[in-house]
Structure 1
């Protein structure tokens, strides 16, 4: 078997980044325009006055593209590719260490949201940039995994072992596919993800690598709806061995229409010049920006509100997919 180089870690240099731009009024309703503003602010922070990577705002149609150009000006190139929604971390390609765009099957997070264009947007984006594409016949979303660049990947059982993704495929079978198709040679299995996360527990809302074998996980008090989830994740990571766990704040209980929503500072994006942290107007916002900033010396850490993006189910990491340099 040919040895596959795993994806480079997110803190490695990027050539560019795809960022999904809200395009369908019927999906976003009253959140459409404010979500567009939040996405543009994110793009501006990643661009960082020309110090960051090239920003590619991906719009689904001409109307959305025009709205993106009006807002972004010269900080971004607008790309038109039809898609269902903006969650390019999950539907976009995962660029391996050998430069090949790995394109996996996408089934709307286990059949929850089947939207036209989401199943092949990854291959189309990669092919438009002249990337070699290799397609695989099993379901995997980019937000379900996070790698440290040295062959270690973290994921959750709730997502990757969920029967709504790949049927009765076993843990060993999933590990073999992660090795065969993405080059990961070690898997850290966490348990469940955040409460009410429609992705079935994507790890990029729970735990993120911030260095080789160095994993950031929130910590929280008992009034946080996810405090036990964080505790169990930390215990799993420490039991795995030779992993440093770095505690960061949690936003706590965040509600929309009286329902707990999966707000997480872990959905930050690591750009060439900036680390962009989603904020939700809670008392821990400033502390989260400070704590995450300490982990990335040499980069500016920016906290930006993401309330309206979150209304669609995710945040900055979820709507972006980097193209390694």
Structure 2
């Protein structure tokens, strides 16, 4: 169900993947995180050498995945494929793009994405959410590259994921880079890093029995820090059981640099669970310090008016914050609220000087609850 906003209109649910959902998965998703503490927690020391860099570093390529399951997408499949192709073709103007597809769909994917995009039929996929299923790459500052996997389990066993569970290690193997499974179950969209020792995440997504049933917060922190090469985790409570991701961080809060972040803010009149969550994230991040002990400067990134966007789907996720940074560009969404779209583009242009800001209509993807960051995974240059 959607929750009414202050105006009485239904509020959208973000990142609510259009999926077939098992009853057991839904029951697990409803398990609430009971802790009330917010803010930063000290975790295990980072390992020597490898760490996940900030996404603004130079990339070797972008990885994506081609959806072809009508069981998941139904009549929306063709529209979602068109959005995936648009994102791939746009990014390919700035850096190489490789799309993983099931062998039966390679020709379709190549035809839609064009010759500038590489399509591989050797790494099968269940769906298109490469941010969550793909490898998280690390560098060591000396030319080294490796990859970690976050043990994807279909967002807490809510969606079939036999192929997607293997995507991370298969991509790493195709590149010949070392691969390590992290000591935690999660997804790439559930963790943001500043590339300098600080992470942020929601408790609702990671400290959840549908991912990490027998782990306490301190254990999850230690595993995340070891995997990402960090020392500090900033936790937000998040929203449990309202969407398939249990509130991924990359729809609301992002790091811009060490000591700098942004939070997408709701309208002042919005008072649904997601709006309250965004305000709490802003308050918590604004009061936090990074791994070096510096206060974090937070930019408010204004979200659209859901009454003015093109889509009337109650599951639509209008997340400007779900942008993707690639070589020389920032790829973002626009939703039809003309004033808000223009303001978002201007904000991104100010925050990323020297990069082209591309705004795309990806409404079919948004109706499935995802965005551009959700369907991309960067491979940084070593």
TM-score by length of 1: 0.92
Shift of 1:173: 1.0
Name which of 341, 347, 350 aligns with 1:285. 341
Name which of 97, 100, 118 aligns with 1:58. 100
Aligned position for 1:27: 72
Aligned position for 1:68: 109
Aligned position for 1:199: 245
Structure 2 residue runs of 5 or longer lacking an equivalent are 1-45, 290-294
- Tell me the C-alpha RMSD between the 2 structures: 2.0
* Bigger RCO (CA 8 Å, 6+ sep): 2
Q: Are 1:171 and 2:220 matched, yes or no?
A: no
Q: Are 1:83 and 2:128 matched, yes or no?
A: no
Name which of 139, 151, 155 aligns with 1:105. 151
Conservation of the 8 A alpha-carbon contact between 1:5 and 1:97: yes
Name which of 227, 249, 258 aligns with 2:302. 249
Shift of 1:97: 2.0
Aligned position for 1:125: 171
Q: Deviation above 6 Å: which 4+ runs of structure 1?
A: 254-257
Aligned position for 1:213: 259
**Aligned pair in 2 of structure 1 residues 8, 2: CA closer, same or farther (>3 Å)?**
closer
Conservation of the 8 A alpha-carbon contact between 1:255 and 1:261: no
Q: Deviation string for 1:54-99 (max 9, x for gaps)?
A: 110221233x211121122222111122111111111111111231
**Aligned pair in 2 of structure 1 residues 196, 264: CA closer, same or farther (>3 Å)?**
farther
Conservation of the 8 A alpha-carbon contact between 1:193 and 1:206: no
CA distance in 1, matches of 2:269, 2:213: 35
Structure 1 residue runs of 5 or longer lacking an equivalent are none
**Aligned pair in 2 of structure 1 residues 191, 122: CA closer, same or farther (>3 Å)?**
same
CA distance in 1, matches of 2:47, 2:265: 40
Shift of 1:255: 9.0
**SS of aligned partner of 1:6:** coil
Q: Greater Rg, structure 1 or structure 2?
A: 2
Aligned position for 1:298: 354
Q: Are 1:180 and 2:222 matched, yes or no?
A: no
**SS of aligned partner of 2:165:** coil
Q: Are 1:158 and 2:173 matched, yes or no?
A: no
**SS of aligned partner of 2:150:** strand
**SS of aligned partner of 2:369:** coil
CA distance in 2, matches of 1:181, 1:173: 12
Q: Which moved more, 1:70-79 or 1:149-158?
A: 70-79
Aligned position for 2:379: 323
